[in-house]
Amino acid sequence: MKLKGHQIIIFGLPRFDSPIESTNYTTAKLLARENEVYYIENPFTVRDFFRLRKTPEYQLRKKHFSLTGCSLIETDTPNLKVIIPPILLSVNFLPENGIFRAALRFNEFLIRTKLKSILKAYKIRDYIFINSFNFHYPGLTDGLTPKLKVYHCLDPMVLPFNRRHGVVSEDILVKQSDVVICSSKQLYEEKKTQNPYSYFVANAADLGHSSKALNNDLPVFPAIAALKKPVIGYLGAIERRMDYDLLKKVILANPDKSFALVGPVSREFVPDWFFTAENVHFPGSIDYHDMPAVIKGFDVALIPFKKDEVSSSIFPLKLFEYLGAGKPVVAIDFNPDLKEFTKGAVKFCEDAESFSEAINAALQTDNADQRKTRVTIAAENTWENRVEAIADIIHFHLEQVIHP
């Protein structure tokens, strides 16, 4: 890694102890191998306080919420510490207008006040600031003097909560950043019209974790092991992105197979039919620790995202998690970029008929050589490789653009 010996502040959207792997915190951990990294997690709001005040999540942070305090949370990763912002006002319910922007500036002032205390206490002066997809606070660095401001854009705006103010806020953030790094080509094409220093670095996977599925001694996750074989599986959030019309046709055409949809379910998006079908199973959410044991039980792994403008800019982490476990993967052709990174090892389908045919072909032809090829492809798409690319971009701008 060319980027070495720097002080880096990363403002991420996920909380550091989230049970789900995130690009944001993984980036922080890997940059900390050669740099001193401080991870600011997404702030609690007053609404979060009343909702979570009795939970272990809140109790862990309780003594760190002080506006002017300098306490940090130590992590298991050397050179990586966590900053807990103060509790903020709940303002997202407001309409997009001057009142909302004034309230947002006040919240940003609170975070900035805490951050300034940390900067002073730990003598953090010549630092890089990375906003890792926390577009909710575009003005946080106003009044701060980082030597480089980076925005890491990871997904399109989809959820109503994010779109309410996020579209406007992200535009501000993209334009004022020195560097913008995008996780898909479509996002890159969009952002480079606003900021010429935009780059494309694709998502990846934690191969060291997903490859545990290759261990013969690892037992299959009980809820998957109990299903009739073959098991056709999906692991991830079960929500609006999935093409339920196509899936229903595929499931009806394959009554001899068990379809396991593993993950949190947003029932408002899932047609009632799926909950009554005899060969469809919803094991529910799992811990990240159990991911390899779940995938190990899949005979074929699915990515059934519907093809639309939103999905065309999604680069799903599960793609390389599946491949890293050696599993055959069948997906809808929702993002043309994925073919470049999978080198023919994944079948991308246009309709239910070809999707069903691909599942059956995978069941009939899967072998040790194919599994080895999949793992090799996944090994080319690790977080280590991606963060190395991000670090090189940052190093280039520090050495050639900021100080040519």
Tens of pLDDT, residue by residue over 43-59, are 999 999 999 999 999 99
Terminal CA-CA length for the chain: 20
pLDDT band at 249 (very low <50, low <70, confident <90, very high): very high
| Same structural domain, 112 and 218 | no
Is the predicted pLDDT of residue 320 greater than 70, yes or no?
yes
Residue 96 lies in a domain: yes
The count of C-alpha atoms lying within 13 angstroms of the C-alpha of 177, restricted to the half-sphere facing its C-beta, is: 33
Tens of pLDDT, residue by residue over 321-332, are 999 999 999 999
Quote the CA–CA distance of 349 and 389 in Å, as a whole number.
Answer: 30
Longest Cα pair distance anywhere in the chain, in angstroms?
Answer: 65
Residue 284 lies in a domain: yes
Domain containing residue 212: 207-379
| Same structural domain, 243 and 351 | yes
| Same structural domain, 190 and 253 | no
Residue 153 lies in a domain: yes
Residue 2 lies in a domain: no
Find the CATH number of the domain harbouring 129. Answer: 3.40.50.2000
| Same structural domain, 356 and 388 | no
| Same structural domain, 225 and 256 | yes
| Same structural domain, 163 and 181 | yes
Quote the CA–CA distance of 287 and 18 in Å, as a whole number.
Answer: 10
| Same structural domain, 235 and 338 | yes
| Same structural domain, 281 and 301 | yes
Global pTM? 0.85
Tens of pLDDT, residue by residue over 71-109, are 999 999 999 999 999 999 999 999 999 999 999 999 999
| Same structural domain, 56 and 125 | yes
By percentage, how much of the chain surpasses pLDDT 70? 99
Residue 232 lies in a domain: yes
Tens of pLDDT, residue by residue over 121-138, are 999 999 999 999 999 999
Is the predicted pLDDT of residue 66 greater than 90, yes or no?
yes
- Determine the pLDDT at residue 404: 54
pLDDT band at 1 (very low <50, low <70, confident <90, very high): confident
Quote the CA–CA distance of 339 and 348 in Å, as a whole number.
Answer: 8
Please state the domain count of the chain.
2
Tens of pLDDT, residue by residue over 173-229, are 999 999 999 998 889 999 999 999 999 998 888 888 899 999 999 999 999 999 999
More reliable by pLDDT, 264 or 311: 264
| Same structural domain, 304 and 390 | no
Residue 1 lies in a domain: no
| Same structural domain, 219 and 184 | no
Residue 252 lies in a domain: yes
| Same structural domain, 390 and 375 | no
Cβ neighbours of residue 59 closer than 8 Å, sequence gap 6 or more: none
